[in-house]
């Protein structure tokens, strides 16, 4: 949250509709995302109850477990889910490959994208991956070979989703909340129906009324994974009892109908959310971040295809520390790049005084100074007048979204006038190449918050981890205990 988003919330209360806090879409949206709405049974540890899933909004697949406490039925569900998810994943490598880098590494042109309604749905994906990836396909408690494979991939989705800027697994409430501010609290925004009511209410209905209606579970069943307790007690429990009594045919029909009624409204909301996000043009760095997802996907796909082990239960201490550090760096980088891509995101940095926008009022294009080596070098000076509350000091390095490769240093700040020195990006001649120095009257934004490099550096491969960082991680070998783990 920021002063800008809070102000937009105030506007939303007053205006009776959501207000934008972004002008660009800051996530990748696949042409064929895999939408997934899971439901769990209350009281159990991530026990699947039902799901609606698919890439075609008009033709989703519905899966359900008639008795979620039954282990065999759970794994039958996992097997059905695996068929859909694995087919979706295997379609990606078929879209072709590209090579990159000096060594000519190969990467798939497409990667899978899974969309869930909310962060709790993403947690379901992660935990369902955890409960299936260690399963054995032979011997006692054998499961279908697809099940542990599904587990690995769901775990991959779960891990990717922790990386800021990754679009592999996206919670729709989070994605929408990054682009619009509603007239309700962040807590209430966790309800997908209520959030969409503010952004895109049904024709002729006030957003506030639609949002209230969205809280009524009989009109808008919860977007899961938890179900409405009243639904559990009055509808689901009797239906499951029918199944337990052996009246399978009747029970299956009732469950199919009633669970569909719980899933379908959310399914429609998912696609409404996708449509809304598609109306925004993607930010310039969205493809760069999606490339990171593709690279990671390619690597993991290769590993899994080669018969790699399932991911460990937990990171070792060194790995965990490294990961936290990396996530923090990625978050900063993500925030900074989104701001460079989008003036409305940049607005937050302008309010805090870390960035400013203004008009060029003075230009000294042929200014030369003595360099450290005593040579006269070209360092043009420009003065920008701004109404923003600049909180920067002289000598701070800046970048402008419209001149992303050019370094600029603050020379002085006098009231609303910021003096800047242009450091580079003017060509090799003694005078600045045309267009490389800002001109009088030009409107410019400068920010002190920018990523180290516009592309994230390629991390060393795990096997090249220096010994100072614990050396290459020991590959995780699952134990018999892992495979036998009870799931009651």
Partner 1 sequence: MPDDTPHRLHQLRGSAPAKRHNARTVAALTGNPGCARRAVLDAAGVDKDALAKQIGFPAKFGQSQFAITRGNSFEAQVKANGYAELLRLLREVLGLEIEEVGSTDLNDVGGNASQEVRHTRARQALKAAVEGREPLTFLDHPLLSLDVGGNIVYLEPDLVAFHHDGVLHVVEIKSFAIIDDQAGGSKVAAAARQSAVYVLALRRLLGDDKVSHDVVLVCPKDFSNQPTAVKIDVRKQLITLDHQLTRLARIDNLVEQLPNGLSLDLATHTPDELVSALSIMEARYAPSCLNSCEMAYFCRHEAAGCTSALGTTVREELGGVEYVTRALDLAQGKAVASVEEEEAAAMLRITAQIYGSVAA
User: Could you give the string, one character per residue 172-211, with x where binding to partner 1 holds by CB under 8 A and - elsewhere?
Assistant: -----------xxxxxx-----------------------
Task: Report residue 80 as tokens.
Answer: 């059905």
Instruction: Extract the runs of DSSP E, i.e. beta strands, from 78-189.
Output: 97-100, 105-108, 114-116, 169-171, 180-181
**Which window, 76-84, 127-135, 194-202, 273-281, contacts partner 1 (CB under 8 A)?**
127-135
| Paired strand residues for 464 | none
As a residue count, the chain comes to: 488
Binding to partner 1 (CB under 8 A): which residues in 234-253? 236-237
Q: How far apart are the C-alpha atoms of 221 and 388, rounded to whole Å?
A: 46
**Which window, 52-60, 195-203, 382-390, 430-438, contacts partner 1 (CB under 8 A)?**
382-390
* 131 scored as a contact of partner 1 (CB under 8 A): yes
Strand pairing category for 34-40 and 114-116: parallel
Half-sphere exposure of 58 (CA within 13 A, CB side): 0
**Which window, 165-173, 228-236, 247-255, 400-408, contacts partner 1 (CB under 8 A)?**
228-236
* 42 scored as a contact of partner 1 (CB under 8 A): yes
CB closer to partner 1 out of 55 and 67: 67
What is the CB neighbour count within 10 angstroms for residue 240? 21
CB closer to partner 1 out of 272 and 445: 445
* 392 scored as a contact of partner 1 (CB under 8 A): no
Contact 171, 121 (CB under 8 A): yes
| Paired strand residues for 34 | 114
Residue 165: helix, strand or coil by DSSP?
A: coil
* 70 scored as a contact of partner 1 (CB under 8 A): no
Question: C-alpha 185: how far from its chain's center?
Answer: 21
* 485 scored as a contact of partner 1 (CB under 8 A): yes
- Torsion angle of the four alpha carbons 241, 243, 249, 255, in this order, in degrees rounded to the nearest 10: 70
User: Could you give the string, one character per residue 321-350, with x where binding to partner 1 holds by CB under 8 A and - elsewhere?
Assistant: ----------------------xx-xx--x
| Paired strand residues for 51 | 38, 63
* 152 scored as a contact of partner 1 (CB under 8 A): no
CB closer to partner 1 out of 23 and 431: 23
* 258 scored as a contact of partner 1 (CB under 8 A): no
Site of interaction with partner 1 (CB under 8 A): 1-11, 13-14, 19-20, 23, 41-46, 127, 130-131, 183-188, 215, 217, 227-230, 232-233, 236-237, 313-314, 343-344, 346-347, 350-351, 357, 387-389, 485-488
């Amino acid at each position: 949250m920021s002063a800008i988003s809070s102000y937009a919330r105030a506007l939303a209360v007053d205006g009776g509709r959501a207000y934008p806090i972004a002008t660009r879409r800051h996530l990748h949206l696949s042409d064929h995302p895999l939408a997934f709405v899971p439901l769990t049974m209350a009281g159990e540890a991530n026990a699947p109850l039902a799901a609606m899933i698919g890439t075609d909004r008009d033709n989703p697949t519905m899966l359900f477990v008639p008795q979620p406490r039954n282990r065999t039925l759970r794994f039958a569900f996992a097997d059905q889910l695996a068929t859909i998810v694995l087919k979706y994943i295997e379609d990606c490598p078929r879209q072709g490959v590209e090579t990159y880098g000096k060594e000519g590494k190969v990467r798939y042109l497409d990667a899978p994208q899974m969309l869930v309604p909310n962060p709790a749905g993403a947690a379901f994906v992660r935990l369902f991956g955890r409960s299936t990836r260690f399963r054995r396909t032979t011997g006692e408690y054998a499961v279908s070979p697809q099940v542990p494979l599904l587990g690995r991939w769901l775990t991959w989705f779960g891990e990717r989703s922790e990386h800021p800027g990754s679009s592999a697994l996206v919670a729709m409430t989070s994605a929408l909340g990054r682009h619009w501010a509603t007239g309700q609290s962040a807590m209430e925004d966790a309800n997908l129906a209520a959030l969409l009511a503010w952004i895109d209410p049904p024709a002729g209905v006030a957003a506030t009324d639609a949002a209230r209606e969205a809280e009524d579970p009989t009109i808008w069943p919860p977007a899961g994974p938890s179900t409405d307790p009243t639904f559990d007690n009055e509808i689901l429990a009797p239906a499951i009892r029918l199944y337990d009594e052996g009246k399978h045919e009747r029970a299956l029909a009732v469950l199919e109908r009633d669970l569909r009624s719980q899933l379908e409204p959310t399914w429609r909301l998912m696609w409404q959310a996708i449509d809304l996000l598609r109306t925004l043009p993607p930010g310039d760095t969205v493809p760069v971040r999606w490339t990171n997802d593709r690279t990671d996907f390619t690597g993991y796909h290769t590993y899994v295809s080669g018969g790699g082990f399932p991911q460990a239960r937990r990171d070792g201490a060194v790995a965990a520390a490294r990961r936290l550090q990396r996530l923090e760096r990625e978050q900063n980088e993500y925030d900074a790049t989104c701001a460079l891509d989008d003036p409305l995101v940049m607005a937050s940095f302008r309010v805090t005084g870390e960035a400013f926008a203004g008009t060029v009022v003075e230009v000294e294009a042929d200014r030369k100074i003595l360099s450290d080596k005593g040579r006269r070098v070209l360092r043009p000076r420009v003065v920008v007048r701004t109404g923003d509350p600049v909180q920067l000091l002289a000598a701070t390095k800046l970048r402008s979204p419209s001149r992303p490769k050019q370094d600029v240093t603050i020379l002085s700040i006098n009231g609303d006038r910021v003096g800047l020195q242009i450091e580079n990006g003017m060509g090799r001649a003694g005078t600045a190449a045309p267009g490389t120095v800002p001109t009088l009257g030009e409107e410019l934004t400068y920010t002190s918050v920018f990523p180290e490099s516009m592309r994230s550096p390629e991390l060393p491969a795990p096997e090249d981890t220096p010994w100072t960082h614990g050396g290459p991680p020991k590959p995780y070998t699952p134990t018999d205990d892992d495979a036998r783990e009870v799931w009651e």
